[in-house]
Structure 1
Amino acid sequence: MFKETFQRYLTMIEETLAQLPWRKNSLDESMYYSLIGGGKRIRPVLALASAEAVGGKPESILRAAAALELIHTYSLIHDDLPAMDNDDYRRGRLANHKIYGEAGAILAGDALLTYAFELLASLELGQPERELRIIREVAVASGKDGMVRGQVADITAEGKVLTLPEIEEIHKGKTGAILTVSARLGGVLGGGSEDDIQALTDYAQALGLAFQIKDDILDVIGDSETLGKPAGSDLRQGKSTYVSLLGLEGASEELHSQILKAQAAIKPFGQKGNFLNELALYIEERKH
Structure 2
Amino acid sequence: MLKISSLRAAAMRPVVLAVSCLAVTSCGTTLTLDEPVPAIIDVNRNSTLAIIADNSIGRDIAREVRIKLHPSDFYRIQPLLHSPAPDTDVLVALSGSYLDCTINYDTSYNHDKKHDKRHDGDRHDRDRRISSYDVRGGVTCRFSSRCTGSSTSRNYYATDTSYYSEFDAHENVIDELSDKIVRDLIPHQSTYSVTIDSDDENPVLEQAAEACKAGNWTLGEQLAKQASANKPQSAEPWFLLGIIERNRRNFARSSELISKAASLQPSGKYQRELRRNSEIQINMQAVRHQLETR
TM-score under structure 2 length normalisation: 0.23
Of Structure 1 and Structure 2, the greater helix share is in 1
Please say which structure displays the higher CA radius of gyration: 2
Of Structure 1 and Structure 2, the greater strand share is in 2
